[in-house]
């Protein structure tokens, strides 16, 4: 391309305005429209049962700590392709450890519009530390976080000592040995958590220290400001 054929540069203020308008449009459309927009992008991958997964998207039902369906009729899950590639390795890790076991996915990419609803529910409460402030964004909002557990051969969820979204110290991996000594967690429950943790961490995921079900595909410092947030 010659210098004469280069398109004119847009003023910086115009770029900022266009980005703001795009963000506002995405928010107005709700989570279903936001997720539909990323469907055509090569940067995101849809999670499917054929990948060796069971999908139980809790925020697309009332079976979550909010008690509301936050996704409406949209029952599909996506991850950034970097996270999806690591999840594929984690599936193989779990299969090698226990051929009849499989992951059950509770949440994956989560639009910031949904994050704002979660934040409004916990702000100012003891549960606030478990939900990321939407101003910065959760790793879920970038498609780099995954909430999941493990199902046995019969499709029953392994006992992890608490359920998903149990925002209590008992759900925190960093407190496991203390609760084992106090008899509040059993060795079997911790063993189940270690099975999940090993399959994920060996694939390159990082476990959140206060939620046994939450794993990040990259450190937050490498994601924030480097990848687009999904509104």
pLDDT, tens digit (0-9, with 9 covering 90-100), for 143-186: 999 999 999 999 999 999 999 999 999 999 999 999 999 999 99
What average pLDDT score do residues 98-120 get?
95
CA 159, chain centre distance (Å) = 21
Supply the pLDDT for residue 29: 58
In Å, what is the CA distance from 64 to each residue of 37, 165, 219?
A: 25, 7, 26
The answer to whether 146 and 79 have CB atoms below 8 angstroms apart is: yes
- Please name every residue paired with 78 in a beta bridge, in sequence order, or none if there are none: 46
Supply the pLDDT for residue 144: 98
CA 102, chain centre distance (Å) = 17
Residue (of 165, 200, 197, 168) closest to 185 by Cα position: 168
CA–CA dist 40, 35 (Å, integer): 10
Supply the pLDDT for residue 5: 42
The residues near 9 (Cβ < 8 Å, ≥ 6 apart) are none
CA–CA dist 197, 116 (Å, integer): 28
CA–CA dist 169, 185 (Å, integer): 11
- Name the token pair of 86: 């690591």
CA–CA dist 135, 122 (Å, integer): 15
Judged against a pLDDT cut of 50, whether residue 14 lies above it is answered with no
Judged against a pLDDT cut of 90, whether residue 103 lies above it is answered with yes
Q: Enumerate the H helices of 98-206 as residue ranges.
A: 112-122, 176-181, 187-201
Containing H/E element for 47?
strand 44-47
CA–CA dist 146, 231 (Å, integer): 17
Reduce the DSSP state of residue 103 to 3 states and report it.
strand
Q: Which residue has the tokens 């991850």?
A: 79
* Domains defined along the chain, listed by start: 12-223 (3.30.1380.10)
- Name the token pair of 149: 């557990």
CA–CA dist 191, 160 (Å, integer): 8
Reduce the DSSP state of residue 147 to 3 states and report it.
strand
Q: Whole-number mean pLDDT of the chain? A: 88
């Amino acid at each position: 391309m010659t210098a004469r054929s280069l398109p004119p540069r847009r003023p910086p203020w115009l770029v900022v305005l266009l980005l703001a308008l795009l963000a506002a449009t995405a928010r107005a459309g709700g989570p279903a429209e936001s997720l539909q927009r990323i469907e055509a992008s090569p940067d995101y991958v849809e999670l499917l049962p054929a990948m060796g997964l069971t999908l139980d998207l809790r925020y697309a039902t009332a079976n979550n700590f909010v008690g509301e369906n936050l996704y409406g009729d949209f029952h599909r899950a996506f991850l950034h392709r970097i996270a999806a590639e690591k999840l594929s390795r984690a599936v193989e890790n779990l299969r090698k450890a226990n051929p009849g076991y499989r992951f059950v996915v509770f949440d994956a990419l989560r639009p910031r519009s949904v994050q704002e609803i979660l934040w409004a529910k916990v702000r100012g409460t003891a549960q606030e530390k478990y939900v990321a402030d939407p101003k910065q964004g959760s790793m879920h909002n970038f498609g780099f976080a995954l909430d999941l557990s493990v199902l046995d051969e019969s499709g029953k969820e392994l006992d992890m000592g608490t359920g998903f979204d149990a925002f209590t110290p008992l759900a925190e991996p960093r407190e496991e040995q203390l609760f084992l000594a106090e008899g509040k967690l059993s060795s079997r429950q911790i063993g189940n958590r270690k099975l999940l943790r090993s399959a994920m961490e060996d694939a390159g995921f990082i476990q959140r220290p206060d939620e046994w079900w939450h794993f990040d595909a990259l450190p937050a410092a490498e994601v924030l400001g480097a990848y687009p947030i999904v509104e």
